[in-house]
Chain A
Amino acid sequence: MVFGVELAVHDFGFVDPIDSQALWHALVEEVEGPTLTFMRPNSAYVSLGMHRHVREIDEAVIRMRGLPVLRRYVGGGPVYLDQNQLFFQVYLPKSMAVGPHALLLTRLLSPAVSAFRAIGVDAILDEHGEISVGRRKLCGHGAGEIGSGVVVVGNCIESFDATEAAGILNEPKLVKECAARLMARYVGPPEPMKAGETFTEAAVEAYCDLFGATTVVGIPARAYEGRLAEVRAGLTDPAFVAGNDLGLTPPDRLEVIKVRAGVLLLVGKGKDWLAIAIIAFGELEELTVACATCDLVGKEAVDFLATGDEVGGAFLRRLSGLTGV
């Protein structure tokens, strides 16, 4: 992926939650060559992936905490974002983004690893496509082809509030607690870290290498300002946030919550029972069933589900598919 000459770069600094989405949504259709931006939200909010149903998030909790909700035109699940995450975005005009999406994503995410290493984290792009250290994911990401441009977005997670992040999920308390436990184990750096200029400078250098750029140029405000008001209005349109016209499927009685690639919670909701399976890298770590009169684990839980209703059978089939057991 060698284009040469210029990489356009801008650090927007701290911005309102809406602009931490609107700025890159506005820029992606305007870029004329490889472009890299950084920004950081000045307060917490919730972001929904393009194809995710609004019923996946706990609107009561979110309202109580005063968190804005924004839908993004890239993939992934519902996420909690805050000022302890430095966002970066890599853009290309569609004409330069040749090849399948999965490969493009990997190629455009890879240089970010150098930036993590520059701030002292022994990060890698692992076999699951996540930037991680050990088994901890350090960077959320998503990507999209939006109009005439392609963008890969990521965030350097400096520290991660697992309880807040799990709290926005529209799930029973038991599931939220389980998700928080897994997020604490698998998301964010082992110790809080600071990205800062060391991170952004290393990222600029690595992306210059990827694109063969020898010159770094700025991004004039006119490149995005013209579209910004319209994009802000579109992203905050309640109908778009709710996904009314997107043909989305609401969550079912059987759900998979992805904590990071390879780490999943399978949740089954029967008439009067709740089943939770923790699957980490293809292995079943824990299986529990809770109901009014029982609290089952392991084989007892399997027996309960096997002899129970239709959802129980579907849960076990899905579990088998996810673990190969």
Chain B
Amino acid sequence: MKLGGYDVAKVKCKGYEIRDDLYYDHDRNLWVERIASNSVRVGFDPLGVEVSGTLAQLVMHPNLGTLCRGDAVGTLEAEKFVGPLETPLGGRVVAFNEAVISDPRRIYADCFQAWLFELAGVQSEELATLVHPTDVTKDFEERVETYKRAGVLSW
């Protein structure tokens, strides 16, 4: 896979393709990519895409100040269910991916290309609380198994 002109490897895990060079938010099914020392890019991981259902709307809140981890960056609607899109880390939202907001279906084509927002002012200590790239495969397998046990994934 090419991303920003570079080859990015994906690994197979429990029937999904995931990137093992990113951080992940275990609870929110989001990937987090460090793009500068204190800046990250955030998107849905394949499990997040699978369990969200068919995204109909993705609306980002305007005029966001400095956020704490878990604060809502926006709202999303899938199958008439509206819920918050929460940030996996504290910081300031400095960019939204307008192409994805205007057409959330882009997430289904490649969720690693279809980033959602970028955060600046991220604390390294907080980044360290996410699933580290070295643990990605193990964590992803655990999440898939958890969803299967809960009857969320039918296969």
Residues of A at the B interface (CB closer than 8 Å) are: 49-51, 73-76, 98-105, 129, 141-145, 245-249
Contact = CB atoms under 8 A, between A and B. Distances in A.
Interface string B51-79: 11110110111110000000000110111
Contacts of A246: 59, 61
Given A50-B75, A51-B75, A247 B80 contact: no
A257 to B, nearest CB: 14
B12 to A, nearest CB: 22
A75 B59 contact: no
29 contacts: A49-B80, A49-B82, A50-B82, A51-B56, A51-B75, A51-B82, A73-B82, A75-B79, A75-B80, A75-B81, A75-B82, A99-B152, A100-B51, A100-B52, A100-B147, A101-B79, A101-B83, A102-B79, A103-B152, A105-B81, A142-B81, A144-B81, A144-B83, A145-B84, A245-B62, A246-B61, A247-B60, A247-B62, A247-B74
Interface of chain A, main secondary structure: loop
Contacts of B102: 249
By secondary structure, the B interface counts as mixed
B150 interface: yes
B59 A101 contact: no
A93 B29 CA distance: 21
Contacts of A245: 61-63
A93 B152 CA distance: 19
Contacts of B80: 49, 74-76, 105, 141-143
Contacts of A249: 102
B51 A50 contact: no
A235 B108 CA distance: 34
Interface residues of B, number: 27
A105 B150 contact: no
Interface of B: 50-54, 56-57, 59-63, 74-75, 77-84, 102, 147, 150-152
B9 to A, nearest CB: 28
A100 B152 contact: yes
A99 B81 contact: no
Contacts of B78: 101-102
A103 B63 CA distance: 32
Contacts of A142: 80-82
Contacts of B51: 99-100, 102-103
A48 to B, nearest CB: 12
Contacts of A73: 82
Nearest to B57: A51
Contacts of B54: 102
Nearest to A145: B83
Contacts of B74: 247
A101 B53 contact: yes
Contacts of A98: 150
Contacts of A49: 77, 80, 82
Contacts of A105: 79-81
Given A100-B51, A102-B53, A249-B102, A145 B82 contact: yes
A102 B50 CA distance: 10
Given A51-B57, A75-B56, A246-B59, A101 B81 contact: yes
